């Protein structure tokens, strides 16, 4: 009985190996592992962010920003991991990865001033040179 089940699994894997990398069951196991890993790491990041915010409430927005960046990067990597399991999407995923690098370069060159302001905002959020309630004076504009 058990041998016939394993024979069935092997037959299904062989017949679906032209669609999925390693066959259907291998792709499903990999999909489940990627999903579980993404969920676990996502919960760990959330827990770390909450603990840091409790200890350092003045830097809460900074850690929340970093947490959102980590969550986004984690799920993007998870989606690409899933796409690589389907042979038809594998080429698309490679093209998307290469194309995103080229697109980032084009957008970066086209909007240097906007990206400069964005990077400045990110650095302000990360390094937190001043906090709520501080008095800031811009001498060149005469504004406080």
Q: How far apart are alpha carbons 53 and 22 in whole angstroms?
A: 44
Question: Best-predicted range by mean pLDDT among 91-100, 118-127, 134-143?
Answer: 134-143
- pLDDT averaged over the chain? 82
Distance separating alpha carbons of residues 102 and 79, to the nearest angstrom: 20
Return the pLDDT at 63.
Answer: 78
Q: Which stretches of 27-135 are assigned E, i.e. beta strand?
A: none
pLDDT given at position 44: 92
Summarize the confidence of residues 104-113 as an average pLDDT: 80
Closest by CA to 68, choosing from 84, 101, 45, is: 45
In the predicted structure, residue 36 carries a pLDDT above the cut 90: yes
pLDDT interval class at 138 (50, 70, 90)? confident
Residue 48, CA distances (Å) to 25, 63, 74 in order: 34, 9, 15
Does residue 126 have a pLDDT over 80? no
Residue 93 sits at the vertex; the CA angle it makes with 88 and 98, to the nearest 5 degrees, is 140
pTM here? 0.59
Model pLDDT, residue 99: 83
């Amino acid at each position: 009985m058990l041998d016939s089940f394993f024979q069935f699994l092997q037959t299904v894997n062989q017949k679906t190996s032209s669609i999925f990398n390693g066959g259907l069951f291998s792709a499903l196991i990999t999909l489940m592992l990627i999903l579980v890993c993404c969920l676990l790491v996502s919960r760990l990041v959330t827990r770390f962010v909450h603990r840091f915010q409790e200890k350092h409430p003045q830097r809460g927005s900074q850690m929340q920003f970093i947490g959102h960046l980590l969550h986004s990067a984690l799920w993007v990597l998870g989606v690409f991991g899933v796409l690589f399991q389907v042979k038809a999407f594998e080429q698309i995923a490679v093209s998307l990865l290469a194309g995103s690098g080229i697109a980032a370069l084009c957008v970066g060159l086209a909007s240097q001033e906007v990206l400069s302001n964005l990077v400045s905002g990110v650095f302000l959020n990360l390094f937190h040179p001043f906090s709520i309630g501080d008095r800031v004076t811009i001498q060149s504009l005469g504004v406080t």
